[in-house]
A and B are shown apart, each in its own frame.
Chain A
Amino acid sequence: MSINTGSWRLRIEWSMGSSSACGTNLPQTVSQPQSIIDDIFGDGFFWAVPKARRSLERRRTRRNGSTKLEHWATPRKNIKECLVCGHWHLAHTICGNCYDKVRKETEEMRATMNKNDRDYNAPHTEVVYVYQGEEKDTELLKGKYVVEVDKPRPEWFSKFLLTKALGRR
């Protein structure tokens, strides 16, 4: 193998193990005129192999990628504090802690509804949840599907969701 040939192709040649591939057999090929390709490879054939060596720079970039390193190294500035509970969350997301509370409450509410109506025969009217100690014979609830929840309404869950809250100042 000469110095100039630093390619993978030659290495594969050696690994073929065919005797005719060696440089020492060159005079024989001259005396027996054959196709050069047949002479070199014999019965062997190429797998899909890289054609050129990956340089040091490329290898390092691939493994540690400048963008990745940059991403890991830079401090995140899009982290916010929840104004209600004080937990941290990303700027474009909602607070996970607050949402956990909501999810738990939702599941409890869902469990109180009649299972058949909830999962198989959806009522043909709006569903209204009435907590403990709240009126259920009012004009507003007439003709609606009323579900009673056996506990008082949580403090953070306002009954008047349509009225506008007082904003931050």
Chain B
Amino acid sequence: MLRIPIKVTARKLPHAGGRGSGPQGRINKMRKLVTALIRHERIEGQYQWVDEARGYAERLILEAQRNGDTHKGTMEMADYWLLEKDLVHKLFKVLVPRYTNYPASFTQLWSLGETFPGRPVPMAVLELKGNPWPPVVPKERDQRNSLVNILLDQARKDYRQQKYESIAALELNKQSEQQTSNIDDSSASTS
């Protein structure tokens, strides 16, 4: 089962392989994208194309992982989808070991949005997880020492202190009341 959300129907992508290229052109474009992804581990392209190619890449890796390199059908698929044949070795020797016991999806898709000014086509970045490149989204900053956070921390502490004090005062009050009542009772019983 794929670990990524997919559309229930495939996109037709009529212009993916050039105008009028039809479904064969679409699948050729998908092959090119999958090959490029396996080679470079990070590619950029139109969101629609790249998102569609993502499913194919995931499925290919999953099949390779499940059936291994001795399965005829899987090898045929790898041969079809990887236009450059040195990548067949990479698929079985690098990517399959990399993703053994991997609970999540093998790829990651980042939306880049449209370039403005320019062609209003949404673009995206597709990458294989565990690649050697710098991360697309930078590491989150350590903001513990920012002024706002320090002030908030202090405010929280003060609030807690107040609360404790009020509770303690209440307890003290109760205890003193009980003591006085006990004294009254004892005096009544002795009399």
The answer to A–B direct touch (Cβ < 8 A) is yes
A interface residues with partner B (beta carbon < 8 Å): 83-84, 89-90, 92-94, 96, 98-99, 102, 105-106, 109-110, 119-129, 154, 156-158, 161, 165-169
- B112 to A96, Cβ gap below 8 A? yes
B 30-73 binary contact with A (CB < 8 Å = 1; else 0): 00000000011010000000000000000000000000000000
Bound-state Cα–Cα, A167 to B142, Å = 6
Q: Which chain B residue shows the least CB distance to A128?
A: B132
Given contacts A124-B90, A156-B138, A158-B139, contact A166 B144 (CB under 8 A): yes
Give 6 new A-B contacts, CB below 8 A, not counting A99-B112, A102-B138, A106-B133. Answer: A99-B110, A105-B134, A106-B134, A156-B134, A166-B144, A169-B144
Chain B: minimal CB distance from A7 (Å): 37
Q: How large is the interface on B (under 10, 10 to 19, 20 to 34, 35 or more residues)?
A: 20 to 34
Q: Which chain B residue shows the least CB distance to A121?
A: B86
Contact partners of B40 in chain A: CB under 8 A: 110
Bound-state Cα–Cα, A84 to B143, Å = 11
29 interchain pairs (CB within 8 A)? A83-B141, A84-B141, A89-B113, A93-B111, A94-B111, A94-B112, A94-B125, A98-B137, A98-B138, A99-B110, A99-B125, A102-B133, A105-B133, A106-B134, A119-B39, A122-B90, A123-B90, A124-B90, A128-B132, A156-B134, A156-B139, A157-B134, A158-B139, A161-B135, A165-B140, A167-B140, A168-B143, A169-B144, A169-B149
Whether, in the assembled complex, B89 has its beta carbon less than 8 Å from a beta carbon of chain A, the answer is yes
